[in-house]
Every structure is written in structure tokens, then in C-alpha cells.
Structure 1
Amino acid sequence: MINTFRLISRQNPHQFRQFHKCIIRRAESATAAAVTESTSISRPPPSGADKSVDPKIDKIANDISALNLIEVAQLSDLLKKRLNLPDAPVMPIGGFAAGPQVEAPEEEEEQTQKKVQTSFTVKLTGFDDKQKVALIKEIKSLLPDTNLVQAKKFVESAPTIVKADLAKEEAEKLKDSLVKVGAKIEIV
């Protein structure tokens, strides 16, 4: 409390006056509470609150609620040291997300079997130099808007993707037609 008082008194006088007024108001409210308790007129507890609270606990709660931020931090540090408590983890803003559910290995195998590849990619990985001209002509006929020069550059830049997102039957047909003209094809 004295350290807080020193810090505030060193700053501008307006803040000191505000702090002083706050201290006086707390003292007045504490005096008024003592007078209220001494007249033995008890207020009913708010709805939803525990009706029977030990007076010792009530006193501790009132004392803690009267502390300023610096004193609360000091109290927290002291309690952590005395009770050997670890620092509390910071809670994420949205709360905790549900963790992934652990499934049985049998269910995982069933899911992998259910996932059937429906689209395939035909990839040119290499070619036979003796049949290069025939392969260039075949590529020119397969790819629309391709001239011979572009088809030659395409073949020479192997490994490249010829066509993607094909059905299995189409991919197999394309592979067969390109293998006949000396291409080395991989279906992915």
C-alpha cells in the first residue's frame, strides 16, 4: 500500500487527489458497513447465493475484494510459492476445442477401403528416342490447339503431365495409345 502511495504521489497531483478520494471513500464505506452490522439489521442474501457462508470466509473475501491490482498480484505470487502451484495456463478465447476422437483400427481400415480414387493423372516420364517423331505427332493430336513445335517442346520437357482428372478407363486408353508410340507413362 505504501509503495502504491509513493508511486502515485510522484506522478501528477490530480492522480494523487483521485487516489486519496478513493481511499477516503473506502474508509467511509467500511465504517458504514461496520455501523450496519452493529445495528443487527441483516440484509437477505441475493438470490442464487449461498445462504450460509462462514463469517471467516466472508471476511477473507471482503479483504481480497478491497485490494488493488498490485496487491492482488503480490497475493497471487505469495500463494503460488506457499502452495507450490504452477502458473495457470492461459485459456484460449474460444474455449477448448474438442480433441480428435480415437477410432478403432478396424474402422480406419474400412475408411481407407471406402476411399476409392476416381480421378487419375497421366504423366509422361520418358520416351524412346527412336519413336520420338511418332510420339510428338500423337501428343499433337491429343492436345487441342497444339502445333508441332509446342508438341516437341512438351515431349522434350518430360516428365510432364499429359492430362489430369480422367476416369480410370480414359487414363488406361490414353496410356495404351502413348505406350504404342514409345512413351513411358505413369498413371497417378
Structure 2
Amino acid sequence: MSTKIEEIVEKLKSLTLLEASELVKRIEETFGVDASISAAPTNFSAVNSGVKPEENVPEEKTEFDVIINEVPASKRITVIKVVRSLTSLGLKEAKDLIESVPKPIFESVPKEKAEEVKKLLEDAGASIIVK
């Protein structure tokens, strides 16, 4: 091999999996090729070395559901007020929601919003589950 190719190979060895993935995407875009795993030889070193492909890494959850699990009778009015301030529900709808727990109050919200809602409702006296 030429020294130029040897230098490139040595640099490639030092890449992390994330950097290698970004490099493959960039090469595919630049040269209009497809470097998918189906086109790769079966004795690919990452497969044989026991390194798991990035596709098997579970994605971090980004959307959460906030569920009112339980509301003590003594805290119902306070929780209804908080529910109304967090949502666009009217008094009757908020009351119905509180009476039919466990019930989701927010679905598919970001982690920060889910934590904020959970804190407000727990401070009001409700038992909350974030999934």
C-alpha cells in the first residue's frame, strides 16, 4: 500500500463508532454510493470483533406521558385547579379527569415539560406516573 493509504487507514482506526458512522454518511452523500451493511462482506471486522452496530443501541426516550395515578379526596380541589392551569380544560372536564384516575393528562411531551407537570401536580397532592 502507498503511504497515503496507510496514513488514512491508521486515522480510520482511531475513529469512534459515532465518527465512523458520520464518515460513512458523508462519503455516501459526497460520492452518491450506498454503504449499507447488506453490501458489506460477511467477514466485516466490526461484526467479528463483537462490537455491536449502533442500530442495536436503544434510543434515549424523548417523549413522555404524564399520568395522574391517584388524588386524595382532601386534595381534589387543589389538583383540579392545577390541572385547569396546565391545560385548556374547563371545570367539569378537569373534575371528570380527576375522578377517573389513572388517566393521562399529557401525552408525548418532552422530558422537561413532563418533570415540570409532575412537580406541580405532586405539590398539589396528586400521585403522578411519568412513562
| TM bucket, shorter chain | 0.5 to 0.7
% identical aligned pairs: 28
The TM-score with structure 1 as length reference comes to 0.41
Structure 1's unaligned 5+ residue stretches are 1-100
Kindly indicate whether structure 1 or structure 2 has the higher relative contact order, using CA contacts under 8 Å at least 6 residues apart. Answer: 2
Instruction: Choose the corresponding residue for 1:158, options 98, 101, 107.
Output: 101
After TM superposition, where is structure 1 displaced by more than 4 Å over at least 4 residues in a row?
A: 103-106
1:111 to 2:42 alignment:
no
Could you say which residue in structure 1 is the equivalent of 2:115? 172
Q: What CA deviation, in whole Å up to 9, does each residue of 1:8-60 have, x standing for no partner?
A: xxxxxxxxxxxxxxxxxxxxxxxxxxxxxxxxxxxxxxxxxxxxxxxxxxxxx
Q: What CA deviation, in whole Å up to 9, does each residue of 1:81-139 have, x standing for no partner?
A: xxxxxxxxxxxxxxxxxxxx9x78751797334x1101111111111221111001111
Larger Rg: 1
Structure 2's unaligned 5+ residue stretches are 1-41
- Cα pair distance change 1:108/1:179, threshold 3 Å: farther
- Cα pair distance change 1:110/1:135, threshold 3 Å: same
Question: For the aligned residues, what is the CA RMSD?
Answer: 2.5
- Aligned letter for 1:164? E
> Could you tell me how far apart the structure 1 residues matched to 2:70 and 2:51 are?
40
The TM-score with structure 2 as length reference comes to 0.57
Instruction: Choose the corresponding residue for 1:133, options 73, 77, 82.
Output: 77
